[in-house]
């Protein structure tokens, strides 16, 4: 996104716009804040572990996003992820390998199991991660509601969590049923329960325990 913004600025300059006009547009009303929901989206507050929720679900996406999170994290990087059921199972080992090699702590959980056994999917991911790094700290937690609580409990201020897979989606596909679900809201709840300040949710999802 930064590269795209820089390219747009260059195009405006080449198109004859004055630099002062561009600066004024970029800084007016506190400046431009742009992001794509669910794309390495920061959902945590100013203190505590930084929690990023991302839509990436491939080895290449894991590698690039983990590297980006690592660059802005002074402490440990924890990776939380699962794999789709009834989809390309051949990439699961590579996903697990990339995830464990790019993180300090790995937490394996569920994503969209669909009609597959989620425990079997997790077992494949854990096996792939342990083969890649036998000495790595690897945890398995299910369902994701529990996994994010586990992840938050394993890190502290200055660390980061990358929760890859759910991104902007507001449901999980479980045996053909779309269950309401928001990784962003679950992450905020886990942080709040651990005593960390979190911003207000912008994408509320109705849960049974909410008014």
Q: Where are the beta strands (DSSP E) in 19-153?
A: 41-42, 50-54, 77-81, 105-108, 137-140
Contacts of 112 (CB under 8 A, 6+ apart): 84, 85, 172, 173, 174
Q: Let me know: does 25 contact 127? Beta carbons within 8 Å.
A: no
User: Over the stretch 124-180, which tens digit does the pLDDT of each residue have?
Assistant: 999 999 999 999 999 999 999 999 999 999 999 999 999 999 999 999 999 999 999
Tokens of 133: 């790094």
Tell me how far apart the alpha carbons of residues 100 and 106 are, in angstroms, rounded to a whole number.
6
User: Over the stretch 110-127, which tens digit does the pLDDT of each residue have?
Assistant: 999 999 999 999 999 999
pLDDT at 55 over 60: yes
Tell me how far apart the alpha carbons of residues 97 and 91 are, in angstroms, rounded to a whole number.
10
Tracing tokens 């049974």 back to the chain, one arrives at 208
Over residues 13-23, mean pLDDT: 94
Q: Which helix (H) or strand (E) covers residue 130, if one does? A: helix 118-132
Would you give the distance in Å from CA 193 to the centre of its chain? 19
Q: Where are the beta strands (DSSP E) in 76-205?
A: 77-81, 105-108, 137-140, 160-164, 171-174, 177-180
pLDDT at 7 over 60: yes
- Predicted local confidence at residue 1, as pLDDT: 75
Please tell me the CATH code under which domain 36-193 is placed: 3.90.190.20
Tokens of 39: 């794309």
User: Average pLDDT of the chain?
Assistant: 92
Over residues 184-189, mean pLDDT: 96
Q: Let me know: does 95 contact 83? Beta carbons within 8 Å.
A: yes
Query: What sign results for the dihedral spanned by CA atoms 198, 199, 202, 207?
Result: positive
pLDDT at 71 over 50: yes
Instruction: Write the DSSP assignment of 62-101 as a string of letters.
Output: HHHHHHHHHHT-SS-EEEEE---SSS-GGGHHHHHHHHHH
- Predicted local confidence at residue 201, as pLDDT: 60
Tell me the domain boundaries of the chain: 1-34, 36-193
């Amino acid at each position: 996104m930064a590269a795209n913004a820089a390219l747009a600025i260059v195009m405006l300059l080449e198109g004859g716009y004055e630099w002062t006009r561009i600066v004024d547009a970029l800084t007016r009303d506190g400046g431009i804040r742009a992001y794509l929901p669910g794309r390495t989206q920061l959902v945590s507050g100013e203190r505590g572990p930084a929690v990023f929720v991302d839509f990436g679900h491939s080895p290449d996406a894991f590698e690039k996003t983990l590297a980006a999170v690592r660059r802005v994290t002074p402490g440990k990087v924890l990776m939380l992820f699962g794999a789709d059921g009834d989809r390309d199972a051949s990439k699961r080992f590579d996903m697990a390998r990339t995830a464990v090699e790019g993180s300090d702590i790995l937490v394996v959980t569920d994503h969209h199991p669909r009609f597959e056994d989620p425990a079997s999917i997790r077992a494949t991911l854990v096996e792939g991660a342990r083969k890649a790094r036998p000495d790595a700290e690897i945890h398995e937690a299910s369902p994701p509601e529990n996994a994010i609580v586990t992840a938050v409990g394993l890190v502290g201020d200055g660390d980061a969590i990358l929760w890859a897979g759910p991104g902007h989606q507001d449901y999980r596909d479980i045996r053909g049923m779309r269950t309401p679900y928001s990784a962003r809201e679950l992450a905020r709840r886990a942080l709040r329960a651990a005593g960390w300040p979190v911003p207000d949710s912008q994408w509320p999802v109705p849960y049974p325990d909410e008014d």
